[in-house]
């Protein structure tokens, strides 16, 4: 399986805090059947001041640690970009990381605040799309505004955004509402990938298998596999 959303890179956000912890998360991922994983540290101006340029050396160090410990996990450097006004300036100087490509457009993992959908978010999406970027909205099923009113998702669907569900939501471990919204999105065929959004081994581990099982019951095995293999493989250029 391929996991396109994770916070394993040590010490640069609220994910793994040391190389040892990152390695133990990598081992959990491999044991779950994950072969490829995108490293997506938060790019959140004022909170986690990461850029494409600052992520890369940490990524290279972690790659070396995986090699040294002979952990068979293919990793890709990317980031999870928080929707913000600062994004525009960072985009202009090529500081924003991308996940890969989708139908000739660059894919950006884009995070909305958890509490609501800020007014003008759709305008920012349009701004990105005009510049050859398709946002993949990170875990919309956990956004409180969308949870209480699913029509808040409509502008993003209409604009052609991609969507990432978090595995624990699909498996029902983030509560009834996140599960209900995940199921609804799966049912409607809106979901592009299921990813772990792994931060740690106890509360948010890098595990996809439980979600794949839950999704299979809803949309069938082939479709569920598409969300953890075919689609992510297409994005990172494996297919
Ligand atoms: Fe995340």
CA of 154 from ligand 1 middle (Å) equals 22
Helix (H), strand (E) at residue 62: helix 52-68
Residue pair 141/114 in contact by the 8 Å Cβ criterion: no
Residue 146: partners with Cβ closer than 8 Å, 6 or more residues away: 117, 140, 152, 153, 181
HSE at residue 34, side-chain half, CA atoms within 13 A, is 35
The pair of structure tokens assigned to 98 is 């991308």
Residue 232: partners with Cβ closer than 8 Å, 6 or more residues away: 2, 3, 4, 36, 193, 195
CA of 6 from ligand 1 middle (Å) equals 6
| pLDDT tens per residue, range 113-166 | 999 999 999 999 999 999 999 999 999 999 999 999 999 999 999 999 999 999
CA of 98 from ligand 1 middle (Å) equals 14
The pair of structure tokens assigned to 162 is 């991609």
CA of 123 from ligand 1 middle (Å) equals 23
C-alpha span between 168 and 198 (Å, rounded) = 10
| pLDDT tens per residue, range 66-120 | 999 999 999 999 999 999 999 999 999 999 999 999 999 999 999 999 999 999 9
111 DSSP 8-state letter: E
C-alpha span between 89 and 115 (Å, rounded) = 24
CA of 188 from ligand 1 middle (Å) equals 24
CATH label, 2-235, candidates 3.40.50.1220, 3.40.50.300, 3.40.50.2300, 3.20.20.140? 3.20.20.140
Domain coordinates in residue numbering, the chain: 2-235
Strands of 74-77's sheet in order across: 2-3, 36-39, 74-77
CA of 66 from ligand 1 middle (Å) equals 21
Residue pair 236/36 in contact by the 8 Å Cβ criterion: yes
CA of 142 from ligand 1 middle (Å) equals 11
The model's pTM is 0.97
């Amino acid at each position: 399986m391929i996991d396109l959303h994770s916070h394993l890179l040590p010490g640069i956000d609220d994910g793994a805090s040391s190389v040892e912890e990152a390695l133990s998360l990598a081992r959990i991922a491999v044991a779950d059947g994950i072969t490829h994983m995108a490293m997506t540290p938060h790019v959140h101006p004022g909170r986690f001041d990461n850029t494409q340029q600052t992520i890369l050396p940490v990524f290279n160090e972690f790659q070396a640690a995986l090699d040294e410990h002979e952990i068979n996990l293919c990793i890709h450097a990317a980031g999870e970009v928080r929707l913000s006004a600062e994004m525009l300036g960072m985009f202009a100087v090529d500081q924003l990381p991308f996940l890969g490509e989708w139908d000739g457009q660059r894919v950006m993992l884009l995070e909305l605040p958890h509490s609501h959908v800020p007014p003008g978010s759709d305008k920012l999406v349009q701004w990105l799309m005009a510049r050859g970027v398709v946002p993949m909205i990170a875990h919309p099923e956990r956004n409180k505004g969308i949870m209480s009113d699913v029509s808040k998702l409509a502008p993003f669907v209409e604009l052609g955004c991609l969507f990432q569900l978090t595995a624990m939501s699909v498996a029902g471990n983030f509560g009834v509402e996140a599960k209900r919204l995940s199921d609804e999105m799966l049912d409607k065929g809106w979901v592009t990938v299921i990813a772990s959004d792994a931060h740690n081994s106890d509360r948010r581990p890098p595990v996809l298998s439980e979600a794949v099982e839950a999704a299979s019951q809803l949309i069938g095995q082939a479709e569920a596999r598409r969300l953890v293999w075919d689609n992510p493989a297409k994005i990172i250029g494996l297919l």
